[in-house]
Chain A
């Protein structure tokens, strides 16, 4: 398209036969300024319209049939659960220092029900920085660490074999439990799980094995679940190769003791497995609560913004609301709830919808302003947690093995009452039972409903087909502006050459001009490539900096900044001084650099939108205006018109905001207030990102930072 226009410009007489699609392309490119303004505005507007466009969730997989059977969990099971809670909260059981007693109690309870029980001993594994993790399978490239016998955790695992199943599939129920300092909530979650478990040993409809994992959360809930899953999915065939928790003498002693004290033939010391996991539920009960009614919070975000199948959330939501009368919550960005501008925006949308409805009664798309504000707050938090790429709970570990999992956190309205405790046990237990029964009905993996979606409320979602429109509108101007800049740079240089030469030598210069013209962008491409290479180096630096012992976050950050600047200067001098090259030859060189920069940003954003949509969307909001507006400051100062002055101001502001640390502090300040901002915070944040193998980290290092550097170099271009 680009060249076609150029051709038509260079030719004296316009050709009559131009294909319509080419003509459309030429039209768009020649009006790229207007088009980009319209597209960007529409993109931002579409983003704010998403809560209005959200659809109600529906259960897509027919086999699930939630709530079709009446719950079988009776008071008998509840009192069983109550017994376990009492035993666990009994001060006698906490006498042991390692908390082994409580695990013993749980194991004994499981054995009494006739389940297979085993213990899984694990060492908490630190998350390692591994930049290639995203492209490989989750198990490859795990680095073995030196184990010490001082720290280990014990997961208790109980397995019910399904009477009707073939043992090929399983459903996992996880309750995090810290034996050393367990709150009442944790004991209660164990009680709920136990009452369900005791029911499931008796039922006849079970077609999938049930695994109940009591995850030892003294080293974090995620670490325990991840360690168990790793063991489950990657069996080790040689015991000699890796040092294991089993080798520690004191651990073995403990388990020998246990072997004597626990009666039951189904206890085993080896690792027990069931079939492939169909779904996993993580159950938690919160200790304190400020809510006025029983609520249940759903956490679904796993690493890199992956979500479980929407059907799983639907089933939980349906059963909780329509069967158990619980209020279902998903995470909201609280500061947004009170913002007045959002409320007025909601009112505008509402009134617009009213007008539309009065015009044509079938147009019903409006939602009330309060609902809009809540939807936006939920959507914002959905975007935020997906963009971070850090799992919001232990369910994240399952997603790495393609198992759909969510965390359910029950927040009861008040505590310590016996009747109330039975009530919460009954309702929570029935909810879990219903979900398990639904999943039990599944014939295939979860595949019917969406994997790519954003929630605006527990029962409303925006699917990929809708939110991609907003993103596509936002980045649509990039290729157009790149093409128009490219064409302008080429044609202008061509003209100036033609003017300066004498008519007799016209063929000569034309020849020369052509030879340069078509491949002249290579120089700019080289500059862009070098800056991206620098971005890759910058993203690898924290790995080495983190090896320095006893380094405070602030100093680490400073070292990082220094090393980054140093490496930029080195690259600059070694690889044919990119910044000097840019200003060397032609006056329009900056336009070519900008054109190639925009192309690379377009590729980067497009790529990221596939990996993690939320990151790409937030990145696009920052980077697209900066890329589009970038223009040498000197030119704007020289022009001296109002328009160029505005652009100057915008450029300066955007140049500050789009710098990744600045954007981070700005966002943090907006959410938490600017009072306690610290330079080291950014380092801590980055460290958490790479510890969780978040693709956002790579995005910031290899797309956003290079883009910022290139834009700043365009701003300070001497022409």
Chain B
């Protein structure tokens, strides 16, 4: 496997990138046959391209784009992408231009992932060096995690489907990745811009502020600070230069300033574009309000639609609070436990959000699966990998079949489709749990290598 991966990493990385782009272009030429843009897995009320076109049309005819509960995205997307919904080239597929934009967004995201992955790998090697573990862990066996992550992101069927299915999730994902890239390479204005845009496009990215603060405050992922101290206590020379830096507030304040600036800028732009149509309040109500109140109960791959279709109106508000607090509850414990690995923390947050958000799509899974590629070296002994892989394959095949059985054949019912949604949620939970425990085990293993304990104290 390592040979294969190395080969992928060094020689044929660009071949694979080209192949994935060509594959996307081929699929774009058969939009009618695939009909992906109407699949519930791809286009949610928030990311649907048809709704975007409708919102643009409404705006062009001097009505509020949010009229009729059709469009629920950002007004900036309307101004940027809206014209592409109308422009057509003679003899070409209808939405060729927009498809090309999403292909470009995907490639840019992959490149950013690659750069960030290389950063992370270098940081990891540096910290191993300062711990004097380079000999014990064969560094030459280390995989180019950036290349692997980028390839996972580009060749993942979920990403391809989201890209070809004309959803806006490639652009949302790009904003998230931009934010992480900026934070990793300490480009604070860029990080702030990415964070503001990601939050603006999909509310849930707001919680990424915690990993970004950690990233800016103490640098990219490294083993726990305690280890460094232990190591140096053993050697009895306290070399301050080899210690990871302490938390510094300077960049964080810098970031807060830029984030404030960018959000004011974005809000002003939105305000201008919505001046005649009810202003910013209207926008908040029909984007964030729509996300938080789960108004649209059309089926998707999440679990909330079914629950809120069943729940009594009386309890609705209560359960809305319960479901959203669910995400908030996990923020703090994870932040404390994984504070030394902010990028991994970001991956966990993204995965949890894509599991519990009100309108999930496969584009969200594509994002966190791509980010998972950054940690191939650390997660080498993750459990249940084959099981998870088979589960993802099985669910992604079974879900369209169940949908067909329910909607087109009429022989199944909503429970059939919801069952696959539950299995999917369980798979994501297993992935997160196993991922986090594998990462903690990795830290433990490093500690044991330093203190010289035997290997078997794994858990």
Question: Which A residues contact B (CB, under 8 angstroms)?
Answer: 2-4, 7, 10-12, 132, 134-138, 140-141, 306, 402, 445, 451-452, 486, 506-508, 510-512, 514-523, 525-526, 576, 595-596, 599-600, 602-603, 606-607, 610-611
The answer to whether B386 touches A508, judged by C-beta atoms less than 8 angstroms apart, is no
B456 in the interface (beta carbon within 8 A): yes
Q: Which residues of B contact A141 (CB under 8 A)?
A: 32-33
Residue in A451, A506, A516 whose CB lies within 8 Å of B2: A516
Q: Which residues of B contact A10 (CB under 8 A)?
A: 456
The answer to whether A518 touches B380, judged by C-beta atoms less than 8 angstroms apart, is yes
B405 in the interface (beta carbon within 8 A): yes
A520-B1 contact, Cβ under 8 Å, with A603-B390, A603-B397: yes
Residue in A451, A523, A576, A610 whose CB lies within 8 Å of B1: A523
B88 to chain A, nearest CB (A): 19
- A510-B455, A519-B385, A607-B397 given. 20 additional CB < 8 A pairs? A2-B386, A3-B384, A7-B458, A132-B34, A134-B404, A135-B401, A135-B404, A140-B32, A402-B408, A451-B411, A486-B386, A507-B136, A511-B136, A514-B380, A514-B381, A515-B2, A518-B382, A525-B386, A599-B386, A606-B398
The answer to whether B33 touches A306, judged by C-beta atoms less than 8 angstroms apart, is no
A–B pairs, 15, beta carbons within 8 Å: A2-B386, A2-B387, A11-B458, A136-B35, A137-B408, A306-B409, A402-B408, A452-B411, A512-B141, A514-B381, A516-B2, A518-B380, A519-B380, A519-B385, A521-B385
The answer to whether A508 touches B401, judged by C-beta atoms less than 8 angstroms apart, is no
Q: Which residues of B contact A138 (CB under 8 A)?
A: 408
C-alpha gap A4/B459 in the complex (Å)? 12
B21 in the interface (beta carbon within 8 A): no
Q: What bracket does the count of chain B residues touching chain A fall in?
A: 35 or more
B394 in the interface (beta carbon within 8 A): yes
Q: Which residues of B contact A510 (CB under 8 A)?
A: 455
A512-B411 contact, Cβ under 8 Å, with A2-B384, A7-B458: no
C-alpha gap A293/B4 in the complex (Å)? 72
The answer to whether A508 touches B136, judged by C-beta atoms less than 8 angstroms apart, is yes
A577 to chain B, nearest CB (A): 12
Q: Which residues of A contact B381 (CB under 8 A)?
A: 514-515, 517-518
C-alpha gap A445/B380 in the complex (Å)? 54
B313 in the interface (beta carbon within 8 A): no
- Chain B 118-150 interface residues, beta-carbon cutoff 8 Å to A: 136-138, 141
The answer to whether B398 touches A610, judged by C-beta atoms less than 8 angstroms apart, is yes
C-alpha gap A607/B404 in the complex (Å)? 12
Tell me the nearest residue of chain B to A581, going by C-beta: B4
Tell me the nearest residue of chain A to B142, going by C-beta: A515
Listed from nearest, the 7 A-B pairs whose CB atoms lie closest are A451-B411, A3-B383, A515-B380, A402-B410, A514-B381, A603-B394, A599-B390
Tell me the nearest residue of chain A to B384, going by C-beta: A3
Max chain B CB contacts within 10 Å: which of A4, A12, A137? A137
- B365-409 near A? 1/0 per residue, CB < 8 Å: 000000000000100111111110110011001101110110011
C-alpha gap A523/B385 in the complex (Å)? 13
B175 to chain A, nearest CB (A): 31
- Chain B 427-459 interface residues, beta-carbon cutoff 8 Å to A: 449, 455-456, 458
Q: Which residues of A contact B411 (CB under 8 A)?
A: 306, 451-452
A511-B138 contact, Cβ under 8 Å, with A136-B35, A402-B409, A402-B410: yes
Tell me the nearest residue of chain A to B405, going by C-beta: A610
The answer to whether B455 touches A610, judged by C-beta atoms less than 8 angstroms apart, is no
The answer to whether B449 touches A507, judged by C-beta atoms less than 8 angstroms apart, is yes
Q: Which residues of B contact A607 (CB under 8 A)?
A: 394, 397-398, 401
Q: Which residues of A contact B385 (CB under 8 A)?
A: 518-519, 521
- Chain B 1-49 interface residues, beta-carbon cutoff 8 Å to A: 1-2, 4, 32-35
The answer to whether B384 touches A11, judged by C-beta atoms less than 8 angstroms apart, is no
A132-B138 contact, Cβ under 8 Å, with A2-B387, A402-B409: no
C-alpha gap A507/B377 in the complex (Å)? 16
C-alpha gap A515/B382 in the complex (Å)? 9
The answer to whether B138 touches A512, judged by C-beta atoms less than 8 angstroms apart, is yes
Max chain A CB contacts within 10 Å: which of B35, B400, B411? B411
Tell me the nearest residue of chain A to B383, going by C-beta: A3
A515-B390 contact, Cβ under 8 Å, with A140-B35, A610-B401: no
The answer to whether A508 touches B138, judged by C-beta atoms less than 8 angstroms apart, is yes
Q: Which residues of A contact B389 (CB under 8 A)?
A: 525
C-alpha gap A445/B411 in the complex (Å)? 12
The answer to whether B4 touches A523, judged by C-beta atoms less than 8 angstroms apart, is yes
- Chain B 38-91 interface residues, beta-carbon cutoff 8 Å to A: none
Q: Which residues of B contact A132 (CB under 8 A)?
A: 33-34
Q: Which residues of B contact A602 (CB under 8 A)?
A: 390
C-alpha gap A486/B383 in the complex (Å)? 12
Tell me the nearest residue of chain A to B413, going by C-beta: A447
C-alpha gap A12/B457 in the complex (Å)? 11
C-alpha gap A534/B25 in the complex (Å)? 22
C-alpha gap A138/B408 in the complex (Å)? 8
B440 to chain A, nearest CB (A): 15
Tell me the nearest residue of chain B to A513, going by C-beta: B381
Q: Which residues of A contact B416 (CB under 8 A)?
A: 610
- B77-113 near A? 1/0 per residue, CB < 8 Å: 0000000000000000000000000000000000000
